[in-house]
Structure 1
Amino acid sequence: MSESTEFKGGAEAKESAAAFGDRVRSAVIWRSGSQILAQLVTWSVTLVVIRLLDPADYGLFAMTQVIMSFLAFLNGWGFASALVQSDSVDPFRIRQAFGLLLLLNGLLAGLQLAGAPLAAAYYGQPMVADLLRVQALIYLATPFIALPEVMMSRTLDFRRQALVNLVAALAGAGTALGCALAGLGVWTLVYAPIALFWTRAIGLTIVARLLVWPSFNFKGCGQIVGFGSAVLFSQLFWLVQTQSDVFIAGRRFEPHALGLYAEALFLAQIFMAKFVPPLNEVAFPAYSRIKDDPAAMRWSFLKTVRLLMLVAAPFYCGLAVTAAPMVETLFGAKWLGMVPYIQILSLALIFMTVQILFAPVNNALGRPLITMVSSLGGAILFPAGFLIGAEWGLIGIAWAWLVTAPLLLLLSARLTAPRLGLSLWQIARAMLPGLAPALVMAVGVGLADQELLAPLGLAAPIRLALLVALGALLYGALLWLLEREAISEVMRLVLRREASST
């Protein structure tokens, strides 16, 4: 590896605040923009695939995802992320990180192959074993994704990542469409991610020019292991929190019913799962650069919460009140059983979207233990809620999300706010410009649908279009009347203007 691949914190520190702000803005645009384009491609194909497959296929796939998620938290991504938080990185530490990634993911692939029959026996579904054996290929691609992605993220180089991710999205979408049209059923959901992961692995390795020889000499990598271990346990607790619902429900309910719930959860989580993580990927290295400036950290965090809620809150509230015509329009009548789950889960995920913003702040400050404790709280609250809620069926599990999500947000804010010099009220106030108008909008759209549109018996696409238009107009008007400063802040961000000092 050439000396040019060594990153020096001192040189980075000399960059002006304006230039750094421009790089962060560019990184956000490339990462989020590529994610939006990739999701447009993926969802265009997904809508076709959902109509071709059955809910039972998604139920079987959801069972495998629980197993894979609990193994994947050991894939070493947290160890590689330590390279982002470090002030400087030398080539040997990069080789050590690569060695860790190869070793861990090889072991995970072997564990999944060996444990596949046990998972199938737990669920009482023999097909699960076959699916898991093939899905083990995903682990082998992870080292060639994680290391290039982390090293490019360190320098806020998201443009090349974005191009590779778009190509990978096309590969995954093409594979999914071809398999679905060929009548491969549940295997469609297995082959498409494999195509996507391996396309990303090859593409990122090429554009980052980071095909290094791994080192299995782990002497002196204490910082990598220490930081990565805290992140690893945080991921474990997060997985317990987010996957225990399907794990609990998988033994109690049939694949068809579970498939409806799992797809409702997937749809409700799409903003939190697909669009917030890219922002956090930019936020972590950006926060790491300003970690010695408390005022800048506070300002940046509150601004992130405020701007994100301006988009997330109307999305979730709008999804809750348009669920019925949306599902019928996009997925077909056989998926209408998703609607009650979507309505409840959408409201719960408003709180979850803000909660996951705390992790990159704590990690950048070198306090991953705070993230771990917060995740531990979620790993206790959510499974307990799911176990209780399951007594009332899958709808009870959905209600458990709505009860526990605000509690977890409160816990995370209580742990993190003092480290940033913030109060809970300041964080709540940052949420209000987007949340308050969105809730009012949802009430207005819901009443209009119930009292005016539903009695007319309009076709689902027309009803959906009218509700979306009404919601957009109402939300925009409320922002203009109640939160005009929030609109000005967005305009300053888009037009790259400095806010006036106060």
Structure 2
Amino acid sequence: MVSEAAEIKGSSEEIDGEGAFKDRVRSAVIWRSGSQILAQIVTWASTLLVIRLLDPADYGLFAMTQVVISFLAFLNGWGFASALVQSDSVDPFRIRQAFGLLLLLNAMLAGIQYLGAPFAAAYYGQPVVAELLRVQALIFLATPFIALPEVMMARKLDFRRQAIVNLAAAFAGAGTALGCALAGLGVWTLVYAPIALFWTRAIGLTLIARLLVWPSFNFRGCGQIIGFGSAILFTQLFWLVQSQSDVFIAGSRFAPHALGLYAEALFLAQIFMAKFVPPLNEVAFPAYSRIKDDPAAVRWGLIKTIRLLMLIAAPFYCGLAVAAAPIVETLFGIKWIGMVPYIQLIALALIFMTVQILFAPVNNALGRPSVSMRVSLCGAILFPTAFLIGAQWGLIGMAWAWLGAAPLLLLVTARLSAPLNGVSLADIGRAMLPGLVPALVMAIAVGFVSEAIAGYGLAAPIRLALLVMLGAILYGTLLWLFEREALAEVRRLVLRRRSAVEPAA
């Protein structure tokens, strides 16, 4: 059934005025980001309990399977569905075509992963990897029932209903993880929890969007979907080469225990970039699509996003780097302390990566996914090369590779994207400085204090609490003294009422 079929065509173009549109975007950001924060609190609470029950080797084995899944997932057809967001109008038959594509592609991927699992296990020299991959193939079968409702609700900036389902899925995944860990299932805990999460989202989104349609396998006339989706597909492929090549390279060179430490360090360092920035980009893509004919508004929106995001991201990453040791000891336990040097280097690199990934939704919304594809191609060359060089010095060398490659990729992204969105490298630098400079000063001061109190024998949670408190006070004071305009901008964003009037970009 498609109960909202009459509303679909052109519904995303109904704008009640500039102020109303800004309020809808603001509401979408609050619902999407707010639900993400709550979902992550639930997930992290479960993860911190589970991680104390499992062994680093379990996470090493799981990381090996994730490389395979990620390299197949770029073909899951999400880009074809995303074309519905960027289109000026969508009819029910186009939706059925997109659903048919999603079903075909994901059924194929599930079959490939199931049949190819023994080859992956042979590469890693770990027979259990084959068993894990075969069960994880169920994730692909859920993808069509997640992607289609998500993009159709995103087209109308409807993220409230998505938030409800995402929270329910987070509880389902967290509960499954904790139950499996307590039952002593080991690495299988990390397999069953995502499956529970994905299928809860699939069922919930399909029902709440009321978008259960009969698929069409007649693909005539869907050239726009294929063209746009193909560019997104290759962008995702190159991104996966970039983001998974370190574990792929390390998997055949280092023991599962050592790889597990590196993989979890990567997970912790990437929490902000991987968990909180993508929801913003999910809102940004349909929002930029709505104003794509106003270049000044697009440019202003991107610069403002960078500036506001760095006010949060910069202190997070800098604080993570200087307080890595008490954070790991407090949250993970002493057996994970080997993660610390990896976290420190990767966290600093991700300051640049967090800004870099903000450009893709802008380029895609402007109808030029080929620019994002070229950027991803550069990343797919730059990062694996850096990892191969860094691997000569062990896993710490691969962490240094992150710090060397990330700023270079941001530079490439700015150069390739500037002719399209009008944002220069100088604009990016000016937008980053209000958050980055105070964060660096704060990190240096906190680092000195951390060294000073290290010899007093304080418990890790106490040291962490002291450092976090000191960092928050220092960063807030520096912003108050030197960046009051940035603070005022955040306050206006959070407290703005629907009746407020803002000048046009």
* TM-score relative to the length of structure 2: 0.98
User: What's the % identity of the aligned pairs?
Assistant: 80
Cα 1:149–1:500, aligned 2, differ >3 Å: closer, same or farther? Answer: closer
The aligned residue for residue 246 of structure 1 is: 247
Deviations 1:194-220 (A, max 9, x none): 000000000000000000000000000
Q: Report the CA distance between 1:228 and its aligned residue.
A: 0.2
The aligned residue for residue 436 of structure 1 is: 437
The aligned residue for residue 491 of structure 1 is: 491
Deviates more, 1:411-420 or 1:377-386: 411-420
- One-letter code aligned to 1:313: A
The aligned residue for residue 481 of structure 2 is: 481
Please give the secondary structure, in 2, of the residue aligned with 1:88: coil
The aligned residue for residue 378 of structure 2 is: 377
- One-letter code aligned to 1:54: D
- One-letter code aligned to 1:147: L
Please give the secondary structure, in 1, of the residue aligned with 2:211: coil
Distance 1:159 1:459 in 2: 42
The aligned residue for residue 355 of structure 1 is: 356
Q: Report the CA distance between 1:3 and its aligned residue.
A: 6.5
Distance 2:338 2:26 in 1: 41
The aligned residue for residue 470 of structure 1 is: 470
Cα 1:219–1:18, aligned 2, differ >3 Å: closer, same or farther? Answer: same
Q: Report the CA distance between 1:190 and its aligned residue.
A: 0.1
Q: Report the CA distance between 1:13 and its aligned residue.
A: 4.7
The aligned residue for residue 366 of structure 2 is: 365
Q: Report the CA distance between 1:423 and its aligned residue.
A: 2.3
Q: Is the 8 A contact 1:6 1:88 kept in 2?
A: no
Q: Is the 8 A contact 1:6 1:91 kept in 2?
A: no
Please give the secondary structure, in 2, of the residue aligned with 1:303: helix
Distance 1:8 1:501 in 2: 28
Q: Is the 8 A contact 2:3 2:211 kept in 1?
A: no
Distance 1:462 1:110 in 2: 50
Q: Report the CA distance between 1:457 and its aligned residue.
A: 1.5
Distance 1:491 1:43 in 2: 28
Give runs of aligned pairs for residues 72-87 of structure 1, distance below 5 A. Answer: 72-87=73-88
Tell me the number of residue pairs that the alignment of Structure 1 and Structure 2 aligns: 501
Distance 1:15 1:466 in 2: 49
Distance 2:370 2:504 in 1: 35
Give runs of aligned pairs for residues 147-296 of structure 1, distance below 5 A. Answer: 147-296=148-297
Runs of 4+ in 1 over 6 A off after TM superposition: none
Distance 1:463 1:3 in 2: 55
Distance 1:42 1:445 in 2: 29
Q: Is the 8 A contact 1:6 1:89 kept in 2?
A: no
The answer to whether residue 106 in structure 2 is matched with residue 105 in structure 1 is: yes
Please give the secondary structure, in 2, of the residue aligned with 1:275: helix
Please give the secondary structure, in 2, of the residue aligned with 1:186: helix
The aligned residue for residue 427 of structure 2 is: 426
Distance 1:248 1:11 in 2: 44
Q: Report the CA distance between 1:481 and its aligned residue.
A: 1.1
- One-letter code aligned to 1:424: L
Please give the secondary structure, in 2, of the residue aligned with 1:195: helix
Q: Report the CA distance between 1:418 and its aligned residue.
A: 2.2
Q: Report the CA distance between 1:37 and its aligned residue.
A: 0.2
Distance 1:265 1:14 in 2: 41
- One-letter code aligned to 1:221: C
Q: Report the CA distance between 1:455 and its aligned residue.
A: 1.8
Distance 2:157 2:319 in 1: 33
The answer to whether residue 307 in structure 2 is matched with residue 306 in structure 1 is: yes
Please give the secondary structure, in 2, of the residue aligned with 1:288: helix
Q: Is the 8 A contact 2:371 2:416 kept in 1?
A: yes
The aligned residue for residue 454 of structure 2 is: 454
Q: Is the 8 A contact 2:268 2:343 kept in 1?
A: yes
Deviations 1:41-80 (A, max 9, x none): 0000100000000000000000000000000000000000
The aligned residue for residue 391 of structure 2 is: 390
Cα 1:461–1:38, aligned 2, differ >3 Å: closer, same or farther? Answer: same
Q: Is the 8 A contact 1:31 1:278 kept in 2?
A: yes
Q: Report the CA distance between 1:109 and its aligned residue.
A: 0.3
The aligned residue for residue 20 of structure 1 is: 21
Distance 2:501 2:307 in 1: 17
Cα 1:425–1:182, aligned 2, differ >3 Å: closer, same or farther? Answer: same
Distance 1:421 1:143 in 2: 35
Q: Report the CA distance between 1:500 and its aligned residue.
A: 6.7
Distance 2:164 2:15 in 1: 29
Distance 1:3 1:422 in 2: 38
Q: Report the CA distance between 1:420 and its aligned residue.
A: 1.9
Q: Is the 8 A contact 1:106 1:139 kept in 2?
A: yes
Deviations 1:86-113 (A, max 9, x none): 0000000000000000000000000001
Distance 2:211 2:10 in 1: 20
Distance 2:145 2:404 in 1: 39
Distance 2:149 2:422 in 1: 34
Q: Report the CA distance between 1:15 and its aligned residue.
A: 2.3
Deviates more, 1:393-402 or 1:489-498: 489-498
- One-letter code aligned to 2:466: L
Q: Is the 8 A contact 1:492 1:499 kept in 2?
A: no
- One-letter code aligned to 1:358: F
Cα 1:499–1:338, aligned 2, differ >3 Å: closer, same or farther? Answer: same
Q: Report the CA distance between 1:5 and its aligned residue.
A: 4.2
Distance 2:470 2:6 in 1: 52
Q: Is the 8 A contact 2:19 2:502 kept in 1?
A: no
Q: Report the CA distance between 1:424 and its aligned residue.
A: 1.4
Please give the secondary structure, in 1, of the residue aligned with 2:214: coil
Q: Is the 8 A contact 2:414 2:423 kept in 1?
A: no
The aligned residue for residue 58 of structure 1 is: 59
The gaps in structure 1 that reach 5 residues or longer are none
* TM-score relative to the length of structure 1: 0.98
Distance 1:260 1:310 in 2: 29
Distance 1:365 1:75 in 2: 23
Q: Is the 8 A contact 2:446 2:470 kept in 1?
A: yes
